[in-house]
Amino acid sequence: MLDHDQPKSFALDRQHMVALQLRARGIRDERVLDAMARIPREEFVPQQFRHQAYGDHPIPIGQGQTISQPYIVALMLEALAIQPTDKVLEIGTGSGYLTAVLAELSSHVYSIERHSSLAQTAERVLAALGYRNINIVVGDGSKGLPAHAPYDAIIVSAAAPELPLAMVEQLRDGGRMIIPVGSTQSQELLLVRKQQDETVLKHLEGCRFVPLIGREDPAGE
Ligand code: SAM
């Protein structure tokens, strides 16, 4: 049985996660696999759940929110095909784990989170790990973050009832966005590509995310 009082090396868990949850399920992007093989996911998980940090499932992080399942993180990042020169917007910082992977893959990451306590914890962990190419903003990202647009890529880690056109407008020409769209019961991951005046949509697969809360939502604060 695992002794939670003893410091534990997570290196083997990390290797197993990459091999069994990512490669074995078809993730092929070596930059994504390499980043996820290096980032200490356990640092982004509350102490009482650290022993589950590399589990094949989401984990509670407080405020009723979760750190996403590793496979869904890798699937979204592979579909977005982030380039080292890209400026990226992330909606829903949560624990900051996906923010760290984005920071490894891109030039700069803007990330917006509506819960200030989650944003502060993520900021502290990311700074301690040495990331300097991240700006975390506390606020409502349901309409993107126009102040720093246009973006090469936008990644949304919470489900919108429909495609938010304000976010599509913040993509540069050739930019990509990935977002879960649907009800609380049934959602689909959509890959959006902006090409000149056209918006091209690709349906990826079914998924289940916490809802994207807008100011106008009854659940919003
Ligand atoms: N990718 C994150 C990680 O690695 O931990 C998980 C994000 S969690 C599934 C979704 C996050 O979106 C939550 O932290 C939630 O508070 C945030 N969120 C929901 N609606 C939001 C909004 N309108 N603006 C900003 N953040 C929002």
Q: Where are the domains of the chain?
A: 57-207
The mean pLDDT of 84-109, rounded to a whole number, is 98
The burial class, CB within 10 Å (0-12 / 13-18 / 19+), for 36 is buried
Distance CA(39)–CA(100), nearest Å, equals 7
Percent of the chain clearing pLDDT 70 (strictly above): 93
Cα gap 157→178, rounded to integer Å: 9
Residues having CB closer than 6 A to ligand 1 are: 65-68, 91-92, 94-95, 97-98, 112-115, 118, 140-142, 157-158, 209-210, 212-214
- Cβ contacts of 202 within 8 Å, gap of 6 or more: 190, 191, 192, 193
pLDDT at 7: 53
Mean pLDDT in residue range 154-179: 96
List the end-to-end C-alpha distance of the chain, in Å, as a whole number: 42
Residue with the smallest CA separation from ligand 1 atom 7 is 94
Mean local confidence (pLDDT), 187-191 = 96
Q: What CATH number labels 57-207?
A: 3.40.50.150
**CA proximity to 42, closest of 156, 136, 125:** 125
Any catalytic annotation for residue 9? no
- Residue 3 is predicted with a pLDDT of 45
Mean pLDDT, all residues of the chain: 93
Query: 2-27: per-residue pLDDT in tens?
Result: 444 445 689 999 999 999 999 999 99
Average confidence (pLDDT) over 65-80: 97
* Position 172 pLDDT exceeds 90: yes
Average pLDDT, integer, range 175-189: 94
Q: Is the pLDDT of residue 218 over 80?
A: no
- 30-39, 53-62, 111-120, 203-212: the lowest-pLDDT one: 203-212
Name the nearest CA neighbour of 134 among 175, 178, 87.
87
* Per-residue model confidence (pLDDT) at position 185: 86
User: How many angstroms separate the CA atoms of 38 and 16, rounded?
Assistant: 12
Which ligand 1 atom is nearest residue 99's CA? 4
**Residue 88: enclosing H or E segment and its boundaries?**
strand 87-91
Cβ atoms < 10 Å from Cβ of 77 = 25
